[in-house]
Structure 1
Amino acid sequence: MRAPATERGRLLLVLAAGTAVTVFTATVPLLRDWFDLRVYHGAVDTWIHHGGRLYDYRVPGTTYGFTYPPFAAVAMLPMALLDLRAAIAVGLLLNLAALAVVVRLLTGRAWRRHGWYGCALGACALALFEPLRDTFSFGQVNLLLLALVLVDAWLLATGRERWAGAGVGLAAAVKLTPALFIGLLLLARRGRAAAVATVVALTATGFAALVAPDASRFYWTDAMWDTARVGRLDYVSNQSLQGVLARLGETDRAVWAVAVLLTLGVWAVRARRAVAAGDWAAAFALTGLTACLVSPITWVHHLVWLLPSFAVLVRAGFFFF
């Protein structure tokens, strides 16, 4: 399919796409009622205001509670000052800001080449990207973590390496999956950045242990190893390798371990090639994709980590406007 050659044709296509996206988002019931943000808010509120244990909280009527490392709860402590509606509003604003940062870092100045037409179609594509919609409607934090990690990618790509790694370290302290980016820094022989990331992650984790020693002890010795707290491995929304194996009826952990090792091997080879070519965008895209595959549970909203992959494909000419 060729792009319209005239300005009028482009305008008509954008209007048609915008209308289709609006109708789709207005009629397809995909809103998640900020469920995950309700978990964050309820857990922090119970912990701070009612003396409850952080990891004992459950959303009323469900079995779901707080599943992130303790530093995530410490970072979310300002929620204790807000009611749920205010927390939702702040969460939406933070996700919008994070999305703006992510898009800016992924596109650079390339968006100018496509002009208003390409930007409009890109916005429509983002609106249809289910992981992004889920991130907003669940009230998830993945966009914020992606923004932190991509800031590090930008620092490395532009030679501003003094603070590179801090974003990865903070992201890894909030959720474990981004820790794979420390592995990327080691593969790329960016020892300073890897050290910064590791020190930041450990410092944040240590600070959380001082603030919440009981919660930290429980998380690192019990909750982290209990995948049932997060959800069923075989649920269709789990897009990780382990989710695929679980749906196939394969429960042997050794099979999953082999699949993970093979995936990590392919990632290591391809990521090193990308770094050797100076293509940090591709290296970070590969790492985000791999992290989603090797994590025991990767819900659909976690797949915002694929956004860098799409940016690489657009740059390579696989999509055009």
Structure 2
Amino acid sequence: MRYPSLRAPLDILFLVCCVALTADVLVPEIWGNGKTKDYPLWFWAGQQVLRGRDLYPSDPNAHFDFIYPPLPAVLLAIPAYFGKIPLYTCLSFLNAAAWWMTGQLSNAMTGSGRIPGPWLFALPGFATVTFVFDMFDLGQPNLVLLAMMLYGFWLLQHERPWMAGSMFALATAIKVFPVAVFPYLVWRRRWAAAAGMVVFSGIFLFLLPAPIRGYQHNFSELRTWYQGMVASSSEQGFGQRAEQNWSWVNQSIIAVTHRLTRQVNYNQDNPAKTAAYMNLLDLDFKTANWVVLAISLALGLGYIAVMPARSRMTPRSNAEELGILFCLMTVASPLARQYYFIWLFFPMTILMHRAAYDPRAAVRAGSWAALAIAGLLMCLSFPVFPNDLQAYGNNLVATALISGGLVWHILHPPSAGSVASVAPGIGTLESDM
């Protein structure tokens, strides 16, 4: 793992971007009217822990300001003790470090056996820079979670399964949707990693906050959080943000399927907007959920079907398999807002390596074409385009296209001779991590 170098122009550009993005966070707080978005909420949560106050209302059906498990609030309390600016600086530094780590780990885990040149190394960062901006601007942790998950799989590949399980557990204890990795670990019979994830999830959710919050207080808050966030679902929505569940901002499989199969207003996040609908069918809520279940089952079985047997696994196929997993985890989350798709960083990096290094010219051209189309689809999220395009799931379709490209590569690997002729020194980059 290398650090940014002041002798590398692209590394300098990375540092300049980090400084500019951090300024976007700190300047409004120091010289303006205060940073908005989620930052004041993180400070509030940290202060609630420091003062021994409740994070959630006693009624799980009431509105939650803080919709995450107690552990993130406990972690936020440490920098929040020193004030808003130290907290915001800490969060910005974590995002910058996660951005660098994500680039390092993604390029190391493509299975191509090639050390990419600086431009190829940086290309996934350029392609996802708008998502990275959202991470800094909003203060969301998805980029940090991505780095955690990638590091977990890097540890797993280097036969440190318990440490890998702890990283998966920490990501899940911060924001629940990474829990989707657990069925994968079970299916691949990575028992130690799965056990580590279960054990450390218990530690992070129950034991770690207990000395600070009190065991009974923490347990009570966990129960309230679970009832209000995980166990709540109805025709109006799920969790604590019903106005976002079915609206255009949500591009998860669940949301897009419901918008296409029943009459739900995808402008419901803004009451000032005219109601708009896009349903092709007019199903009831229960039937639409059955459609979601059928689609999810089909995707899961399809994923299992393309997984190579253990005896046929290679570094290339393993990378492609994980890339598809990251795509599925992103869109399987009940709420997948724009910034969630930062998790495409890793799958896109794999496909870029295939586009650059596959020995077959036609395959290289096809891979670049798939990436270009996916990039154009993601550009439809820019504010100059109507929200209707996002309502139809432009990022969801882009994710499907990238995932489909990785599926094709799993099913059509190059011959061993052709790979050896263009990719000497396989594993060099991985051994340097």
What TM-score, normalized to structure 1? Answer: 0.77
Task: Work out which of the residue numbers 243, 251, 269 in structure 2 matches 1:239.
Answer: 251
- Is the aligned partner of 1:171 residue 2:182? no
- Is the aligned partner of 1:229 residue 2:240? yes
For 1:34 and 1:194, the matched residues in 2 are separated by 38
Relative to 1, partners in 2 of residues 1:149 and 1:163: Cα closer, same or farther, differing over 3 Å? same
The residue aligned with 2:426 is none
- Conservation of the 8 A alpha-carbon contact between 2:49 and 2:73: no
- Is the aligned partner of 1:258 residue 2:259? no
The residue aligned with 2:318 is 280
| Structure 1 unaligned spans of 5+ | 1-10, 58-62
Deviation at 1:201, TM superposition (A): 0.9
Alpha carbon RMSD of aligned pairs, Å? 3.3
For 1:197 and 1:276, the matched residues in 2 are separated by 27
For 1:104 and 1:302, the matched residues in 2 are separated by 20
Task: Work out which of the residue numbers 346, 350, 364 in structure 2 matches 1:308.
Answer: 346
For 1:82 and 1:275, the matched residues in 2 are separated by 54
Relative to 1, partners in 2 of residues 1:182 and 1:120: Cα closer, same or farther, differing over 3 Å? closer
Deviations 1:227-259 (A, max 9, x none): 251342122121101211233352332222222
User: Which has the higher mean CA deviation after the structures are superposed, 194-203 or 118-127?
Assistant: 118-127
For 1:157 and 1:144, the matched residues in 2 are separated by 20
For 2:122 and 2:223, the matched residues in 1 are separated by 48
- Is the aligned partner of 1:39 residue 2:51? no
For 2:306 and 2:67, the matched residues in 1 are separated by 32
- Is the aligned partner of 1:124 residue 2:126? yes
Deviations 1:156-215 (A, max 9, x none): 223444533221111112221111112111111111111111111122112246262331
For 2:191 and 2:331, the matched residues in 1 are separated by 25
User: Which has the higher mean CA deviation after the structures are superposed, 108-117 or 86-95?
Assistant: 108-117
- Is the aligned partner of 1:106 residue 2:106? yes
Count residues with an aligned counterpart.
Answer: 288
- SS of 1:163's partner is helix
- The aligned amino acid for 1:286 is I
**Aligned 1:41-60 pairs, distance under 5 A:** 41-49=43-51, 52-56=53-57
**Aligned 1:184-223 pairs, distance under 5 A:** 184-207=184-207, 208=209, 210=215, 212-223=218-229
Relative to 1, partners in 2 of residues 1:281 and 1:275: Cα closer, same or farther, differing over 3 Å? farther
Higher helix share: 1
For 2:48 and 2:162, the matched residues in 1 are separated by 39
- Conservation of the 8 A alpha-carbon contact between 2:152 and 2:164: yes
- Is the aligned partner of 1:299 residue 2:310? no
Deviations 1:69-111 (A, max 9, x none): 2222223221431322221111110011011111111112979
- The aligned amino acid for 1:54 is L
Relative to 1, partners in 2 of residues 1:272 and 1:196: Cα closer, same or farther, differing over 3 Å? farther
For 1:106 and 1:289, the matched residues in 2 are separated by 14
- SS of 1:245's partner is helix
What TM-score, normalized to structure 2? Answer: 0.59
For 2:312 and 2:95, the matched residues in 1 are separated by 33
- The aligned amino acid for 1:265 is L
- Conservation of the 8 A alpha-carbon contact between 1:149 and 1:168: yes
For 2:131 and 2:196, the matched residues in 1 are separated by 30
- Conservation of the 8 A alpha-carbon contact between 1:157 and 1:280: no
Relative to 1, partners in 2 of residues 1:275 and 1:202: Cα closer, same or farther, differing over 3 Å? farther
Relative to 1, partners in 2 of residues 1:118 and 1:307: Cα closer, same or farther, differing over 3 Å? closer
Deviation at 1:313, TM superposition (A): 0.6
- SS of 1:238's partner is coil
For 1:92 and 1:125, the matched residues in 2 are separated by 20
For 1:203 and 1:44, the matched residues in 2 are separated by 20
Deviations 1:289-314 (A, max 9, x none): 11222221111111122111101111
- Conservation of the 8 A alpha-carbon contact between 1:238 and 1:297: yes
- Conservation of the 8 A alpha-carbon contact between 2:124 and 2:348: no
Relative to 1, partners in 2 of residues 1:294 and 1:147: Cα closer, same or farther, differing over 3 Å? same
- Conservation of the 8 A alpha-carbon contact between 2:320 and 2:347: yes
For 1:225 and 1:107, the matched residues in 2 are separated by 38
For 2:103 and 2:195, the matched residues in 1 are separated by 27
- The aligned amino acid for 1:277 is M
The residue aligned with 1:74 is 74
Relative to 1, partners in 2 of residues 1:87 and 1:161: Cα closer, same or farther, differing over 3 Å? same
For 1:70 and 1:53, the matched residues in 2 are separated by 10
The residue aligned with 2:139 is 139
- SS of 1:67's partner is coil
- Conservation of the 8 A alpha-carbon contact between 1:155 and 1:161: yes
**Once the two structures are aligned, what percentage of the paired residues are identical?**
23
Relative to 1, partners in 2 of residues 1:52 and 1:164: Cα closer, same or farther, differing over 3 Å? closer
Relative to 1, partners in 2 of residues 1:275 and 1:212: Cα closer, same or farther, differing over 3 Å? farther
Deviation at 1:116, TM superposition (A): 3.5
